Structure 1
Amino acid sequence: MTEFVLTIEWKGFERDKYVHTVLEDNILPPYIKNCRWFAGKARKIKQLKVRHVVHFEEFIFLMFEARYEEGDNELYLLPISFIEENAQNIPAKGVLSKATLDDKMGYLVDAIYDASFRRALYKAIFNQSKITQYNNDLLVFNKGKILTEEADGLDSHLPNIDSSNSAMIFGGKYFLKLYRKLFADTNPEVEMVEYITEHSEFRNIPLFAGSVTWNRLEELPITFGVMVQVVENIKDDWSMTGDYLNDFLEAFVEGNFQIKESVFDKVSQLAHRTAQMHLALFALRGADKFNAEPFDREYRRYLHGKFEALLERRYNLLTDNYLRLDVQAQNLAWIFMEAKDLILDFIDQILTRPLSSFRTRIHGDYHLGQILATNDDLVIIDFEGEPESSITERKIKHSPLKDVAGMIRSYHYAVSAKLFNSAETSNTDAIVLQRAADRWYKLIKDTYLEEYLSMFGSPHPLFKDPNEVNYLLLFHLLEKAIYELGYEVNYRPTWVKIPLKGIVEVINEIEKLRR
C-alpha cells in the first residue's frame, strides 16, 4: 500500500484526470504486482491507463489497461470502495491507498473485501437492477430462476481459492465469479451456463443464478461477473484420478498391473455426463449462438489455418530447444519432425474431406480439473473456454470431439505424471514405465470413448459415421498434443515427452490409415 493520501469524489470520478494519473503512476503499479489475478506480473509494463469508469451505488467499477513493451495490451477490472478508518477490518492485500472522501479519512480498497459492496452486488442481481451511466450506458444485473434467497440477513465471504478471477460466496449457496481480465463481448461462460440452465434438462453444471454486464451503446458489452449455485464437492476429478493412480502405482511397484473396477465406473460416468452435456448443447435452439452448423468452407479454412500456424510455431520451438531435451524426448521429437509432411497432408484433408457431421458450441477447455466430484455424481465447471483464445474464438462451434480429445489428453497426462514423477518409480527403467503407462492409458481411453459414443446412437447429426469420428478425433488429439508442447518446452522440459508421446501415437494411427 502506498503512503500517499488520495482525495477522491465519486461524482465525476470518470472525469477526474488528476486522480486517474495518481492511480496510473503511483497506486496501481505496486498494488497489482501482488494480485494473483493480474497476469502481466512477469512482463515489462510500458504504461497503466485508466480506461473506463462504471458507477454502482457508492462504488466504482474501474477498468484499467496494461500496455506492454511488446505492443499488446490487456484490460482489467478493479472494483473500488472507500472504507472509513476503523469501519471494517480490511486485509492489507485489499488496500490500495490511504484516501479521503467528503472530509472523512479512510482507505481506497479493492471492493471485494468490502462486505457492503458484496451485499449491494447480491441485492442488485436479485432485484435485476439496471443502472444508467453518465453516458447512457447501462450496468445490467440479470437474475436466474434458481436465485431465491433474499439479500437481507445473507452473509458473504471470500473463499480461499487461487484463481485468475475473484470469487464470493453468499449464504453458502451461491458462488459469484468476478472476472478480472476483461474482453469485449459477453463472456462465453455466462452464455453457456445460462442457456443450459434455462433451456435444457442437463443439471450436471453449476446452475445459473445471475450475471453482471456493462451494456455499451456504441460497442460490444463486457461481462463483469457470473453467479451460479454452489456445488458441494469432494474434490476435482484430476485429484480423484490421482487417487486411483496411487492405487495403480502401489500395485505396479509390487509387480502387478491392476485397475479397480470402480475406476472404470467413474470413467464411464464421466463419459456419460460429457455426452449429456454435448446433447444438451446440440438440442438448444432459438438463437444463432447455439444452433448447430455444418463443416462449411469458412470453418474448414479457419481450422486448417490455425493448425498449420500452430504446427510451424511448435516445430521452430522444438528445433531451438532440441538439445535441452533428454534422450527419450529427443527420440520422440525426431519422429515428430520427420513426420512433418505426413502431418501436413493429414491437416490438408480438413479442406476437402467429405464431412456430414455437425458442430456446436462446446466446453472448449475440457480436462479433469474441470470436473467436480460430488458424493455420487460429477459436475462440469468453468465454461470460459481456452484461456489463450479471444472471446470470438471461444464461441466458435466445433465438433464435440474437440472436448473429448481434451479429456483423453488429460488422462494421458495424469498417468504419465504419476509414473514418471513418483519417488517409488525413480529407479524403474523408463521403457517399463512407458509400457505400464501406455497400457493404463489405452484401457481408460477406450472405455471413455466407447461409453461416450454409446450415448448418441448411430448415425447421429453430430457424428455421421465411424470414419468421420476417427478422423476428427485424431485431428483434435494431434492439435491438442502439439498445443501442449509449447508449455512444456518453455516451462517443464522434463515433461516434454508427455505431449510428444501423444503426437507420436497419432502419427502411428495416421500411418495405419494411409496403409
Structure 2
Amino acid sequence: MSALTDLLAEWMPHQRWFGGKGREWSSVTEDGFFLDESTPAVSVHRVRVTYTDDVTETYLVPLSWRATADDDLAHAYVGAVGDNHAYDGMRDREATVPWLTHLVAASTVGPMHFHPAGVAYIPEGVPGDVISGEQSNTSLVYGETAIMKLFRRLEPGLNPDVEVHDALRTTDNPHIAPLLGHVEVDDADGATSTVAFLQAFVPNASDGWRLATSSVRDLYAEADLHADEVGGDFAGEAARLGEATASVHRDLAAVLPTATVGPEWYAELATQLTARLDAALGIVPDLAEHADGLRALYADVGRLTDPTTVQRVHGDLHLGQVLRTTTGWIVLDFEGEPARSLAARREPDSPLRDVAGMLRSFDYAARHMLVEQPGDPQLAYRAQEWAERNRTAFCAGYAGASGTDPATSPLLRAFEADKAVYECVYEARNRPHWLMIPLASLARSAAS
C-alpha cells in the first residue's frame, strides 16, 4: 500500500461516519484526484475497504493539503505524507469553499460532476462549518443560506435524498427544505454515485431531539407532576409532527410510484425481518432471549393477506431528522436507513416504517437519561409515562391528517421491533452502554 493508503487505513476507523467498526479488514485501496490546486490544495479520495467476509465498502474522503502543519487545524489532522500535511477536508474551512464554487459553475472536475438545481441562490466563496454530532455522513452549513451533506459511503445510483427532494419540488410541501443541487462521481466501471447534496438551510430552527429531551428533563425535575402537567410538555408538538409526517407521505405518494400489495409482499417482508434478526444475533448475543418471540411476530406478519399500499417513504425517520421552525416542522434526510443497500432504500415501502421509527425515537428520548441511572424506578416510571403520552399524540396527529390510525395496524409492532433490532446492532458497535434501551423495548414488547 502507498503511504497515503496506510494513513487513511489508520485514520478512518476512528471517524464517526465509518460504518465498518468492529469488522476485520482484509485489504484497503484508494484513488483520488484534485478538486482544487490552490492553497490549500483539496483532493478527493475513494477508499475501498474489503472485509474478511468479502464485502467491500467505498468511502469518500476529501483532504486538504498544507506545506506546514497548522496548529489551528490540529482537530482535523490526518497525518503527513512526505513533506505535506493532510487534514480532513470537511473540517478545514478554507478547503470547503471550492465545493459551492464548482456547483455554481456546473463544473466537471475529473470524474466528478456538479449539478445545480437552478431554483435558488447558491452562496459562492463562503466557507462551510461542519455540523457536529452526525453519524453516517458529514454536513456543512454555508452562512445562513445553504447546507451541504457529503455522503461518506458511496453506492452506485441516485441517492434517495436527491431523488425525493427533487420530486417534492413540485408540491410546495411546507415541511421540506428546497433542493439547491447535487454532486455525482463516476467510477472506473462507468457507474455513477451521488457524492453530495445541497439544500436550503433552515435558520433559527430547533432540533427535534433536543426539544424532546428538554421536555423529558423538565418532567424528571418535577417529582410530583405528571407528563401533561409539566410546563415543557411535548405532546402538542408530537401531534403536529404526526400531522407533518402524514403530509409528507401524502405528497410522496402523489409524485412517486405507489403499488397495492398483498400476501406475497407480507411473506417477503417477514423473510427480510427474520434475516435481519438472524444477522443481528451474531453481533448482539443478548438478543437471543427475544429471538423466539420476534420470529413468531414476524411469522404473523407473513400470514397477513389484506391489500395495503406501499410508496416511497423517509426510511429512517426519528427526532434527529426533524427541525421545528417558527411555522412548523421540517423533515430532513430522505436517504433512508444507512445500513440498507441503496436499491432497498429506493423501493416502495409501508409508511408505517416511518411511524415506527419516530415511535422508537420517542422511546429513546424518554429513556436516554436512564443509561446513567438504570436502577431508579421513579425515573423509569416517568420515562414510560412520557413515551406513551407522546407516542399516542404523534399517532393521533398522523391519523387526523391522513384519515388512517397507524396504531391499529398489525404491521406497526413488527416494524418497531425491527427498528429496535437495528438499534441493538448500532449500540453494540458504537455505544455499548446504550444497548439497554432497545433491549428493554424488546422485553416490554414480549411481555405485552
- Out of 315, 329, 332, the position equivalent to 1:378 is 329
**What is the SS of the residue equivalent to 1:293?**
strand
Q: Within 5 Å, give how 1:132-281 maps onto structure 2.
A: 133=110, 139-149=112-122, 151=124, 154-163=125-134, 164-196=136-168, 198-215=169-186, 218-251=189-222, 253-254=223-224, 258-260=228-230, 263-281=234-252
Query: Do 2:3 and 2:81's aligned partners in 1 also have CA atoms closer than 8 Å?
Result: no
Structure 2 counterpart of 1:417: 368
Q: Residue 54 and residue 282 in structure 1: after superposition, are their counterparts in 2 closer, same or farther (change >3 A)?
A: farther
> Among 365, 380, 389, which residue is 1:443 paired with?
389
SS class of match (2:315):
coil
CA 1:258/1:37 → structure 2, altered by over 3 Å: closer, same or farther? closer
Between structure 1 and structure 2, the one with the greater Rg is 1
Change (3 A) 1:243 1:56: closer
1:384-395 map, 5 Å: 384-395=335-346
TM-score (norm 2): 0.84
Change in Cα spacing, 1:355 to 1:65, as seen in structure 2 (3 Å) is same
Check conservation: 2:399, 2:406, Cα contact below 8 A. no
Is residue 23 of structure 1 aligned with residue 30 of structure 2? no
Matches within 5 A, 1:61-100: 61-83=44-66, 91-92=73-74, 93-94=76-77, 96-97=79-80
2:97–2:128 contact (8 Å) kept in structure 1: no
TM-aligned CA deviation for residue 390 of structure 1: 1.5
What aligned pairs does 1:429-440 form with structure 2 within 5 A after superposition? 430=377, 433-440=379-386
- Contact 1:147 1:210 (C-alpha < 8 Å) held by counterparts: no
Structure 1: runs of 5+ lacking an equivalent:
1-19, 101-105, 285-289, 323-332, 458-462, 510-515
Q: Provide the C-alpha distance between the structure 1 equivalents of 2:44 and 2:251, rounded to a whole number of angstroms.
A: 35
Letter of the 1:373 partner, please give it.
R
Match runs of 1:496-511 below 5 Å: 498-507=437-446
Q: Deviations over 1:200-226 (max 9, x none)?
A: 221323321111102458443111111
Looking at structure 1, the residues matched to 395 and 425 of structure 2 have their Cα atoms a distance apart, in angstroms, of 26
Q: Which letter maps to 2:367?
A: S
1:403 counterpart SS class = helix
Structure 1 residues 282, 256: CA separation in 2 closer, same or farther (over 3 Å shift)? closer
What is the match of residue 303 of structure 1? 269
Which residue type is aligned with residue 451 of structure 1?
G
For residue 42 of structure 1, report the CA deviation from its aligned partner. Answer: 5.2
1:5 is matched with none
Change (3 A) 1:28 1:296: same
Residue deviations 1:310-355 (CA, integer Å, cap 9, x gap): 344556777x548xxxxxxxxxx86x46xx3x65454234344223
Gaps in structure 2 of 5+ consecutive residues = none
Structure 1's 210 and 366: CA in aligned 2 closer, same or farther, altered over 3 A? same
Matching of residue 121 in structure 1 with residue 99 in structure 2: yes
Distance change in 2, residues 1:89/1:171 (3 Å): farther
**CA 1:380–1:307 in 2, change beyond 3 Å: closer, same or farther?**
same
* Counterpart Cα distance in 1 of 2:286 and 2:429: 9
Instruction: Tell me the alpha carbon deviations over residues 54-100 of structure 1, each in whole angstroms, 9 at most, x when there is no partner.
Output: 564545432121233454332122234554559x9872434643557
Distance 2:312 2:430 in 1: 31
Note if contact 2:139-2:148 (Cα within 8 Å) is conserved in structure 1: yes
Over 3 Å counting, the alpha-carbon distance change for 1:185 and 1:271 in structure 2 is: same
Equivalent AA in structure 2 for residue 91 of structure 1: L
* In structure 1, distance between residues paired with 2:338 and 2:439: 22
Amino acid at match of 2:5: E
Q: Does 1:452 align with 2:409?
A: no
Give the number of aligned pairs: 441
Say yes or no: does 1:292 pair with 2:258.
yes
- Name the SS of the counterpart of 1:158 in structure 2: strand
1:258-280 CA deviation, whole Å, 9 max, x = no partner? Answer: 44475222111111111111111
Contact 2:417/2:442 (<8 A) preserved: yes
Q: How many angstroms apart in 1 are the aligned matches of 2:433 and 2:13?
A: 29
Provide Cα deviations, 1:380-425, integer angstroms capped at 9, x if missing partner.
222221121121222222111111011111112222334x3566x9
Matches within 5 A, 1:351-362: 351-362=302-313
**1:450-494 CA deviation, whole Å, 9 max, x = no partner?**
21011123xxxxx6xx69952121221232234334455677676
Give the distance between the partners of 1:78 and 1:272, measured in 2 at CA: 38
TM-score (norm: length of structure 1): 0.74
Letter in 2 for 1:78: V
In 2, the alpha carbon distance for the partners of 1:109 and 1:505 equals 46
CA RMSD of aligned residues (A): 3.5
Cα drift, residue 148 of structure 1? 1.4
Compared with structure 1, are the counterparts of its residues 272 and 53 closer, same or farther at alpha carbon in structure 2 (3 Å cutoff)? same
Q: Calculate percent identity across the aligned residue pairs.
A: 23
Change (3 A) 1:259 1:207: farther
